[in-house]
């Protein structure tokens, strides 16, 4: 169904682009909205309208406004991050220049507000929420920039996204292959890091400073990627050695030889019956790395062994069944990890 909504959004964006004036300042706007994208946010807007009214097109202006606002943030974000590529094409500030990119981004935001003002709904609540979202996006970007200027460098890798086919494919490529450092590592995880590593390593070289401490963290697929990145930093004399590695719901990443070569303090959090922590299977040669921090069925930080651990896992399964949940999958949620860890004294 999302595909149908995406087709509607793509068609409306083409119509919107065709109606824009022929002035050159509009060219970057036409460029970025014609360069594809998942249209996920705008498609969900139409889906919501469809669910509540059976008339998705009632929210077409709001959906297009959300998509245009998203593209406005990408133009400015690429300038601040000095990103050269967006959707496999030159970023707006690279195809034109920074001044044109900033001006066209501002113009795009003005067009968003104009579009909302002509919406059939004319709902003050919708406009208020939209403006508050825009404020929070800018505040968030400001915090991100402030963080980059602080002494610590933290590289955080997100977990698997069910809507991202490449994430699923990476998880399933469990065949061990030669690592960049020593021994063997999970093929899919290695490929994901290979795609990002030129950008990450270049950024690390750019920000290399003896006074800055480097930390890695990640959840699920991101935990595996963070582990591999930390390993590469340790084996590259040009890069800063990571201070510590924090992972949540991490799968096994490599063979014993690979794991032994990871000379970094690794805090590996595991939530009760989290299924991802049990794969890939140990019979394939994979082992875990780091100090395990175990959260029991009640979300308490404990170090059970033997019979205690066995009972706690079954307790978690039983508690999940009583709530109508499959404990192995529910325990993998990053939300669950955060909820439990925040309660630890």
Give mean pLDDT in consecutive 10-residue pieces for the chain, a chain of 345 residues: 86 93 93 88 90 88 91 90 86 93 93 82 76 87 73 85 64 86 92 91 78 88 95 87 93 95 94 94 94 95 92 93 86 93 87
Residues 57 and 102 in one domain: yes
pLDDT at 99: 94
Structural domain tally of the chain?
Answer: 2
Segments forming the whole domain that contains residue 28: 2-147
Domain boundary among 93, 117, 147: 147
Residues 163 and 143 in one domain: no
Domain boundary among 147, 163, 182: 147
Residues 112 and 15 in one domain: yes
Q: How many CA atoms lie within 13 A of 253 on its CB side?
A: 34
Helix residue ranges, H only, the chain: 2-19, 27-33, 40-53, 60-81, 92-95, 98-117, 124-148, 165-172, 187-206, 221-234, 256-260, 306-322, 327-330, 334-341
Burial class of 295 by CB neighbour count within 10 A (0 to 12, 13 to 18, 19+): buried
pLDDT at 164: 62
Residues 14 and 66 in one domain: yes
Domain boundary among 89, 113, 147: 147
Give the global pTM: 0.61
Residues 119 and 210 in one domain: no
CATH of the domain at 265: 3.40.50.1820
Residues 165 and 296 in one domain: yes
pLDDT at 29: 93
Q: Are 153 and 241 in contact (CB under 8 A)?
A: no
Residues 142 and 158 in one domain: no
CA angle, 307 then 270 then 157, to 5° = 165
**What are the tokens at 202?**
């270049």
């Amino acid at each position: 169904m999302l595909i149908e909504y995406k087709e509607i959004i793509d068609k409306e964006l083409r119509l919107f682009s065709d109606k824009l004036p022929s002035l050159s300042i509009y060219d970057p706007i036409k460029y970025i909205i014609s360069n594809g994208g998942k249209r996920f946010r705008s498609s969900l807007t139409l889906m919501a309208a469809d669910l509540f009214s059976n008339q998705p097109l009632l929210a077409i202006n709001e959906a297009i406004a959300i998509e245009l606002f998203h593209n406005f943030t990408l133009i400015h974000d690429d300038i601040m991050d000095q990103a050269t590529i967006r959707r496999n094409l030159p970023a707006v500030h690279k195809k034109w220049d920074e001044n044109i990119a900033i001006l066209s981004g501002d113009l795009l935001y003005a067009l968003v507000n104009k579009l909302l003002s002509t919406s059939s709904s004319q709902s003050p609540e919708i406009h208020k929420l939209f403006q508050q979202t825009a404020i929070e996006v800018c505040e968030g970007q400001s915090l991100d920039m402030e963080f980059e200027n602080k002494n610590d460098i933290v590289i955080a890798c997100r977990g698997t996204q069910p809507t991202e086919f490449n994430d699923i494919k990476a998880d399933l490529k469990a065949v061990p292959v030669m690592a960049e450092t020593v021994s063997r590592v999970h093929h899919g995880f290695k490929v994901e890091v290979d795609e990002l590593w030129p950008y990450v390593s270049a950024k690390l070289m750019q920000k290399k400073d003896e006074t800055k401490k480097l930390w890695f963290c990640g959840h699920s697929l991101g935990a595996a990627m963070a582990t591999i990145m930390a390993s590469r930093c340790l084996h590259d004399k040009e890069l800063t050695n990571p201070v510590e590695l924090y992972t949540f719901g991490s799968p096994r990443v490599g063979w014993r030889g690979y794991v032994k070569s990871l000379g970094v303090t690794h805090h590996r959090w595991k939530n009760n019956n989290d299924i991802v922590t049990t794969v890939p299977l140990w019979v394939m040669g994979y082992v875990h790395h780091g100090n395990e921090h175990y959260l029991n069925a009640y979300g308490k930080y404990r170090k059970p062994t033997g019979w205690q651990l066995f009972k706690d896992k079954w307790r978690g399964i039983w508690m999940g069944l009583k709530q109508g949940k499959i404990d192995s999958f529910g325990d993998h949620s990053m939300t669950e990890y955060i909820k439990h860890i925040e309660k630890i004294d």
